[in-house]
Structure 1
């Protein structure tokens, strides 16, 4: 509770430019957006495009947290000291809806922006291992398990991870830390691969467990590359190198890159739509209709409806939209149209 209070105070201090706005019937002069770490790039790009598209709006204030922390902050209450919008990669659980309701956050708009998928790829024509999430973590983590202890990971070949894997050198190109694709890689593949490891589960602090899952080796086996440059770097890398890329980057490669199956499922548009591919998540947007400016001219902030329109526009979330560089896979056409209607009408969530 103390941490939540600190975050709320911090948001209030970050949005104190309210005097000019009060004269116009609102309590704050800009949107406050909270996002999960994995959806931070999506929130940032939406905020930038929203600011450019609508004349006279101020750039939204943003804060990124783990998904549970982002939703806790969103549900903490209503009023200018609390966020207007949350962008996360997990649907709000019923228990969180009840928390929102108990804190007075009752008029919630829920929308799906698209699907996020991150995958492993190699150059066309190269042999490559079909890996499990657990094997990816065991090959790339800074530490491995030996005799019930964590020791430095010195494996050089995939066959050292599992005898059935080929005798190929472990070489991986991953996006820089803090990027959307890397966030998904950490959350859905690395954490997915290590969360059930006994020695990791026994660690008391959740933050320490995550560190064991997502801290990668620094001996040259994993190289960090700018997110948009991973495909080109992969094409120029030694044979057998694996790249961490988005589904959109795979499509843009013109067939020069080929995706690997992960946990027995090949990433295709069909398997991503069906969420059968393990490294797939839906990106959700939640907004407080109670914060919108009412007909009487009174409210917390302007721009919520316009931000939702931007988030569901074809320019953002459609095929080839600017959010595709974050790894976002567009929803099917009928689903995109339904989300646009929700944005236009500010339709409330019902469970």
Structure 2
């Protein structure tokens, strides 16, 4: 019996040690489905060109990634989280409270939120307001707010086709959903604040931005490729996802014009395309000396080879930063500048 107990203890020690070794010899990255293809590309490049293992990259959505990242500084938490929106002040405060006291923010480039459809359809052009009216839970009807009654596009604007309104989009854990809600729905809500003040305090744009839940907006998970598959089968439907997925699937789907502008790298970088946003990853500095290759992964990700104007990530949809902005960001990230609460309030 004593020998059996000793054997169990030995097995437990070996198993625990192996687990710790695994946790310390391979970088763990979580977060945004939009940033996922860029992060995965860098991870594969690190594994192929260095002595380090390729980092494990999981697509959990920006919100889901932050929840995991800010749980603490232990080795059972992620080293890096990707995000298609900036970290919220509340997330930073929660991280600090959990012992994650040093974080570096890395801005890598831009992306547009594409409203895409089956390529067999004709050109589709709508305004930001029309997009908001198609997707919001509460909309103005005869001077009052009501549950969204619109089921076809011509009900919103008679000049639009009598086509069923149906969207496949990201879930609540997604930074793409957060950005869409803020830039499209929140903008419309604040512009019509006199009506929306009854359900949301003035100035709180995020409270105006509830997405309709009557089956017309269908959360399709964190795998944007599934949305693309839906669009190939349903010609009425529109998908909501990052521009990179539109670029990768241009043989099957096409973007709609928003305010007369197509989602393209030039229009996203210039801001002419109205649903453009910044992409980030966040570094847990407490793990840098504990996870082999983490510093090298960050350096590779921030290099001109990856995020520069002729970088490899541009080929798969990343819209690069302007030269002066990129140089500043690279300096800040490579010097591991600490993110502050004041930075997030700017």
TM-score normalised according to structure 2 size: 0.62
CA RMSD for the aligned pairs? 5.1
1:322 to 313, 318, 334: 313
**Deviation at 1:114?**
0.8
Deviation at 1:117, TM superposition (A): 0.7
> Do the aligned partners of 1:136 and 1:193 also contact (CA within 8 Å) in 2?
yes
Which position in structure 1 is the counterpart of 2:99? 104
- Give the SS at the match of 2:24: coil
CA contact (8 A) 2:126 2:256 kept: no
Tell me the residue number matched to 1:287: 283
1:259-270 aligned within 5 A: 260-262=257-259
Q: What is the CA-CA distance between 1:338 and the residue it aligns to?
A: 3.5
In the other structure, the counterpart of 2:299 is 309
Contact 2:181 2:211 in 1 (8 A): no
Matched, 1:75 2:70: yes
Partner of 2:30: 34
**Can you give the 5+ residue segments of structure 2 that lack an aligned partner in the other structure?**
1-13, 190-194, 201-205, 219-223
Report the secondary structure of 2:281's partner residue.
strand
Structure 2 contact 105–282 (Cα < 8 Å) conserved = yes
Q: Count residues in correspondence.
A: 303
Q: In structure 2, what is the Cα distance between the partners aligned to 1:211 and 1:285?
A: 26
1:159 paired residue number: 154
SS at structure 2 position matched to 1:33: strand
Q: CA 1:252–1:104 in structure 2 vs 1: closer, same or farther (change >3 Å)?
A: closer
- Separation (CA, whole Å) in 2 of partners of 1:137 and 1:17: 53
For 2:294 and 2:168, how far apart are their aligned partners in 1? 32
1:115 CA displacement: 0.8
Conservation of the 8 A alpha-carbon contact between 2:114 and 2:255: no
Q: Does 1:47 align with 2:38?
A: no
Asked if the contact 1:39–1:283 (Cα under 8 Å) also holds between the matched residues in 2, the reply is yes
User: Contact 1:186/1:214 (CA < 8 Å) preserved in 2?
Assistant: no
Kept in 2: contact 1:141–1:217 (CA 8 A) = no
| Secondary structure in 1 matching 2:46 | helix
The 2-side partners of 1:246 and 1:62 are apart by: 17
Question: Structure 1 residues 73 and 275 mapped into 2: Cα distance closer, same or farther (>3 Å)?
Answer: farther
**Residues 27, 55 of structure 2: 8 Å contact kept:** yes
1:346 corresponds, among 318, 336, 340, to 336
* Structure-2 change in CA distance of 1:159 and 1:61 (3 Å): closer
Q: Displacement, 1:99? A: 3.9
Q: Tell me how far apart the structure 2 counterparts of residues 17 and 31 of structure 1 sit (CA, whole Å).
A: 19
CA contact (8 A) 1:73 1:83 kept: yes
Q: Structure 1 213/55 Cα, relative in aligned 2: closer, same or farther at 3 Å?
A: farther
Q: Which of 134, 157, 168 matches 2:161?
A: 168
| Change in CA separation of 1:145 and 1:39 when aligned onto 2, cut-off 3 Å | farther
Alignment of 1:1-351 (within 5 A): 19=17, 28-60=24-56, 62=58, 64-67=60-63, 69-120=64-115, 128-132=124-128, 134-139=129-134, 150=147, 155-156=151-152, 158-163=153-158, 166-170=159-163, 186-189=177-180, 192-194=183-185, 196=189, 212=212, 216=216, 260-262=257-259, 272-273=268-269, 275=271, 277-293=273-289, 300-318=290-308, 319=310, 321-322=312-313, 325=316, 327-349=317-339, 351=343
Gaps of 5+ in 1: 1-15, 219-223, 294-299
- Deviation per residue, 1:222-280 (Å, 9 max, x gap): xx98778999x7xxx99x99886865657997xxx786233x77767676346564412
Q: How far apart are the structure 2 equivalents of 1:251 and 1:40?
A: 14
The residue matched to 2:300 in structure 1 has which SS? helix
